[in-house]
Amino acid sequence: MNLPSTFMGAHGRVLYYFKCNVDRPWKRDNNLHLYVTVVSLLDLNQDPNAPKPLTNNNTKTFGCLCCTTGPLNATLSLPKLGYVCGETIFFSASIENLSNKVMTKSSIKLVEIDVFKAASGKQRHVRRVIMSHQEASIAPGDSFTWGNVGLLIPPLPPSHLVYCNIIDIYYSVELSVDPSGIGFDLDVPINVTIGTIPLRQQYQQINYQSPAGASAPPDDSMPPPPSYGELVHGKEAMEGGEGEGNSVQGGGMYAPQYPTYQFKG
């Protein structure tokens, strides 16, 4: 069956559960809800762009008309487009401040963008910062290069929420530079894909966690089996436990479990 992955968002959810009903004559029935996670496969090997490097840059000036400053330039590069949970996104980023303003900080973020689509054609976008790193100020005329920093991807639903036509999920790595005083941030985003099956050339970089009864790792034609981790956003209260005789396994709280891989080194 082509089922969309379990998803929990601000304005919509995709949920699956088993409901156990105990029919008690002359008494209120007992109902138990057991929520389960469904994960639709997203194989990065099926996307020809997944292993390709990406670069984006942006520039801006401050002031207006004849009073503009020199430019603020920023560049962000990633070694590839496709990743899986448990993998670290390594990047290179450089900032050149040729303006006369101090840049109070720069930051690199992994951002989730959830898109909720109404039948009328309207859309609502919700941004969630998954994780971020921040660096100090950059003086006028100075430059800064990010190094020795990566973004470790926690358990998350795969990109695009395939088989669902009313909710979409995007992920982006974003470099932001915050100027002092009046002025908007300079942003340099690059969209990335988070899948459930890693690129084939990475199979040997993943720690093999043998299931019970297995004596040897899989061959190179198959990815090592993942473990499963709780959604980084945490548990939420679930419907089904209201009223006498109704309950939700887990004390009424639930968080999906998504495949994640442990990389060597």
Burial readout 17-46 (b: 16 or more C-beta within 10 A, e: otherwise): eeeeeeeeeeeeeebbbebebebbebbbee
User: From the CB of residue 51, how many other CB atoms can be counted at a distance below 10 Å?
Assistant: 16
Q: Percent helix, strand and coil across the chain, each rounded to 5?
A: 5, 45, 50
* pLDDT score for 210: 64
**Which residue shows structure tokens 């809800």?**
33
Contact of 246 with 43, CB cutoff 8 Å:
no
Residue 9 DSSP symbol: -
Compute the average pLDDT of residues 224-239: 90
User: From the CB of residue 108, how many other CB atoms can be counted at a distance below 10 Å?
Assistant: 22
178 beta partners: 105
13-50 confidence digits (pLDDT tens):
999 988 887 777 777 767 778 899 999 999 999 999 99
pLDDT band for position 238 (50/70/90)?
confident
